[in-house]
Amino acid sequence: MARISPQIRQEILDKTDFLSVYQEHVRLQKKGASFWGLCPFHSEKTPSFSVSPDTGLFYCFGCHKGGSIIQFMMDIDRLSYTEAMQELAQRCGVQIHFEESEELGETEKERQALLELNERLSKTFHWFLMNHDYGRAALEILHKRGLSNELIEKFRIGYAPANRQWLYSFLKAKGYSDDFLKHSGFFSKKDLAYPLFADRIMFPIGDAKGRIIAFGGRAMTEDGPKYINSPETAVFRKQETLFAFSQAIDSIKSTDTAIVCEGYMDALSFHAAGLINAVAPLGTAFTSQQAILIRRRSSNIILCFDTDEAGLRAAERACSIATAAGLETRVLLLEEGKDASEILEKKGAGELTRMAKNTINAGYFLLTRANQLFDISTMEGKAKAVSFLFPFLDALDSDVKRQEYIKEVGRNIGVSTHAVAMDYAKAKVSGMRRVRNSYSLSNNVPYGSSNSARTSDLLFMAAIILSENPFQFIDENLDIEYFDDPRAKDLFSALQEAQKEGILDIEGILSRCTDEAAARFVREVDTSGELQGGLEKIIKDGLEQKKKASLERKRRSLVAQLQSLSVDADPLQEKLILEEIINIDGELKATGGDINE
């Protein structure tokens, strides 16, 4: 299939005169740092269509359509991605070299060939699991985890042999070319001698129609990652796909509820227990696209992620994403920190079914998390806890719901309802005021629905992504744990993923976001021009704040270690801890951090 490399894409974007392209369709006027005009995608009298001359991103604050210059051309001229890239390349004098010659119907041919290959291999992997000595150990593991042969057949679970030469030899004997296999999702693109799946239990991943579009593989040994998923191909987009969706879709419709688990085995465990409306994301956070996929079939969702810290963080983000999609959202926290697979294995289907009834609503779950994450006995802790809940308040689709939740937040955290409402209103207005000032916009322009409550975390990550070299900050000792706002965490994860994939442009980075609200915020602040000239200060202040917070966390940990030492502990160990605390105190004094004795 014809493909434009990321390097050529970036060269085209670097050489494109964004404004001249936009101005062929929209009469733009410079106001502040951005250019404004009447949106070509909806009828309006007051300009709400904005373009950033630095990044080339566009965003309409009226209809909320936004993206890169490529997306603009695709939408305005109804072009395909390739056609839009060819048009831009011709304008800026860049010659596009496709990896393969593009022929009519080539894309569809590749799609069909991939679907046929996936179908063939799912049967082969399943045969190895059920009928060959190679798969005996894998089958025993599945049986031990409580999965019956009937369920294994239903999901067509299989086994990929440990012999790394087998898969390539098998497919070559079937007549597949090296070029096709490079893009099949089964091998390293750099080396066909390296299959992605070897000595792994194989879980076929289907689309809504049940066609196999990808695989997940669970390791049989401790070597390498426990789970590997197929890379994206012409038939597979992981952010738009849920494991077990085709098997669960009828039950999701009939019960009007979907259970979203953390992984394959958890979803299968629910199915084994008779709860056949369970699905799972594919090794990534729950996404807006997956939420919409469920919303088309159901109005309720139950989130059941692991109760370790990573699982709880995933549940935090998923609560806002699911609620924003219009789903009534509840959270299932399995007792004693167990996951569904472990409960099925050790206590049986009846116990898992019983536990599955004990759900709490998303708002209460997030309030509980706020109490766990922040010290609400202090003023700063109360303020952070309230700010932590802003994304969920944004996601609520009713002012009545929002008002009632604000009351609950005030009661739970120990502040007045008025104070919570004022902080939330200030967070929203701070963004809206900057946008309106950029173009003297009238109050009747419908901004309220698009402007999210902002936090320092969210603004900091937006500034990083919009900076000249955002990837340098991944190496600035930043860690996803340093962010409280789940939208900021999502942006940081998107930046990391883009770096791994060699994606350089801003819209490419934003396309890796699982939460559309986070991506939309970056487009808003960019095209409004409010960060013009202020990026460096926001980033500098943010890095200093993160460094200070990191030192404070480290100091608290050391103090806890010191206090836990027994009376007969080694004096040298105590001395080393004290010295480290003293060193941190010196750094904290320099940054203005808190030293609580």
Q: Which of 429, 456, 450, 427 is nearest to 545 (CA)?
A: 456
In a domain, 100, yes or no: no
Clarify whether residues 290 and 223 are in a common domain: no
Angstrom distance (rounded) from CA 245 to CA 206: 7
Domain boundary among 348, 366, 384: 366
Contact 333, 316 (CB under 8 A): no
Helix axis angle, 417-439 relative to 399-413, nearest 10°?
A: 130
Weakest mean pLDDT among 388-397, 415-424, 507-516: 507-516
Give the separation between CA 286 and CA 400, rounded to whole angstroms. Answer: 27
Q: Are residues 258 and 335 in the same domain?
A: yes
pLDDT band at 365 (very low <50, low <70, confident <90, very high): very high
pLDDT at residue 2 greater than cutoff 70: no
Residues 396 and 359 in one domain: no
Q: What band does 107 get if pLDDT is binned at 50, 70 and 90? A: low
3-state secondary structure of 407: helix
Maximum Cα interatomic distance, the chain, rounded to a whole number of Å: 79
Domain CATH number, residue 43: 3.90.580.10
**Are the beta carbons of 25 and 74 closer than 8 angstroms?**
no
Partners of 159 in the β-ladder:
201
Given 408, 439, 470, the domain boundary residue is 439
For residues 39 and 84, membership in a common domain is answered with yes
User: Higher pLDDT residue, 453 or 399?
Assistant: 399
User: Using CA atoms, how far apart are residues 318 and 502, in angstroms rounded to an integer?
Assistant: 27
User: What is the tens place of the pLDDT at every residue in 329-362?
Assistant: 999 988 765 788 888 888 888 888 888 888 999 9
Tell which wins on pLDDT, 433 or 372: 372
The CATH number that applies at residue 214 is 3.90.980.10
Long-range contacts, stretch 44-51, CB < 8 angstroms, 24+ apart? 46/441, 46/442, 46/444, 46/445, 47/439, 47/441, 48/441, 48/445, 50/438, 50/439, 50/527, 50/528, 50/529, 51/18, 51/19, 51/22, 51/527
> What per-residue string of b and e applies to 353-390 under the rule 16 or more CB within 10 Å gives b?
eebbeebeebbebbbebbeebbebeeeebbbbbbbbbb
First to last CA, the chain: 64
| pLDDT higher than 90, residue 212 | yes
- β-partners of residue 302 are 259, 330
Three-state DSSP at 217 gives strand
Q: Taking residues 268-273, what's their average pLDDT?
A: 93
The pLDDT assigned to 481 comes to 76
Mean of pLDDT over the chain: 85
Neighbours of 403 (CB within 10 A): 13
User: Which of 46-50, 73-77, 127-131, 467-471: highest mean pLDDT?
Assistant: 127-131
Q: Name the token pair of 147.
A: 């999965």
pLDDT at residue 277 above 90? yes
User: Which residue do the tokens 């079937």 mark?
Assistant: 174
Structure tokens at 359: 């759900």
Least confident of 96-105, 549-558, 573-582: 96-105
In 3D, which of 118, 265, 122 has the Cα closest to residue 130? Answer: 122
Lowest-confidence region among 133-147, 233-247, 250-264, 567-581: 567-581
192: number of CA atoms within 13 Å, CB side? Answer: 16
148 vs 157: CA distance, rounded Å: 11
Q: Are residues 274 and 387 in the same domain?
A: no
> What does the pLDDT look like over 515-549, one tens digit per residue?
888 888 998 888 887 777 788 888 888 888 888 88
Domain membership of residue 505 (yes or no) is yes
Question: Is 499 a member of any domain?
Answer: yes
- Tell me the average pLDDT across 226-245: 90
Q: What is the DSSP letter of 230?
A: P
pLDDT given for residue 284 in this prediction? 62
In whole angstroms, give the CA distance from residue 331 to residue 101: 50
pLDDT of residue 461: 92
The answer to whether 8 and 94 have CB atoms below 8 angstroms apart is yes
Q: Are residues 120 and 186 in the same domain?
A: yes
Take residue 462 and report the two structure tokens written for it: 């937006």
Q: Where are any strands of DSSP class E within 382-431? A: none
* Contact by Cβ (8 Å): 501, 480: no
Residue pair 68/507 in contact (Cβ under 8 Å)? The answer is yes
Supply 501's token pair.
Answer: 């994939």
Structure tokens at 336: 């004693």
Q: Are residues 568 and 464 in the same domain?
A: no
Examine the pLDDT at 500 and tell me if it is beyond 90: no
Question: What are the backbone angles phi and psi of residue 347, rounded to the nearest 5°?
Answer: -120, -10
Question: Could you list the residue range(s) of the whole structural domain that residue 76 is in?
Answer: 6-92
Tell me the CATH number at 272.
Answer: 3.40.1360.10
Residue 449 forms part of a structural domain: no
The pLDDT of residue 81? 83
Q: Could you tell me what percent of the chain has a pLDDT over 70? A: 92
Both 130 and 184 in one domain: the answer is yes
Question: 165-187: per-residue pLDDT in tens?
Answer: 999 999 999 899 998 998 899 99
- pLDDT over 70 at 400, yes or no: yes
Region 506-523 average pLDDT? 87
Q: What confidence score (pLDDT) does residue 98 get?
A: 67
Whether residue 26 lies inside any domain: the answer is yes
Contact 183, 233 (CB under 8 A): yes
Q: Please count the other Cβ atoms lying within 10 Å of the Cβ belonging to residue 178.
A: 11
In a domain, 344, yes or no: yes
**End position of a domain, from candidates 188, 210, 236:** 236
What is the pLDDT, as a whole number, of residue 592?
Answer: 61
On whether the CB atoms of residues 353 and 326 are closer than 8 A, the answer is no
Number of domains comprising the chain: 6
Q: Which one-letter amino acid corresponds to residue 543?
A: L
User: DSSP 3-state assignment of 93?
Assistant: coil
pLDDT at position 200 is 95
pTM of the model: 0.69
Residues 538-565, mean pLDDT to the nearest whole number? 83
User: pLDDT band at residue 147, thresholds of 50, 70 and 90?
Assistant: very high
Angle at 479 between CA 477 and CA 484, to 5 degrees: 135
Q: Which helix (H) or strand (E) holds 589?
A: helix 571-591
**CB neighbour class for 63 (10 Å; exposed up to 12, middle 13-18, buried from 19):** middle
Instruction: Evaluate whether residue 395 is within a structural domain.
Output: yes
Question: Do residue 190 and residue 304 come from a single domain?
Answer: no
Cα 253 to Cα 62: distance, rounded to the nearest angstrom: 34
pLDDT of 84-98, one tens digit each?
888 899 888 888 876
Specify whether 399 is located in the same domain as 413.
yes
Is the pLDDT score of 420 beyond 90?
A: yes
Q: Which of 229, 316, 313, 312 is nearest to 264 (CA)?
A: 229
pLDDT of residue 517: 84
18 domain residue, yes or no:
yes
Q: Are residues 207 and 322 in the same domain?
A: no
Residues in the chain: 597
For residue 158, the cross-strand partners are 202
What is the Cα Rg of the chain in Å? 26
Instruction: Check residue 593 and give its pLDDT.
Output: 53
Residues 212 and 113 in one domain: yes
Q: Which tokens in the block code for residue 446? A: 């419908």
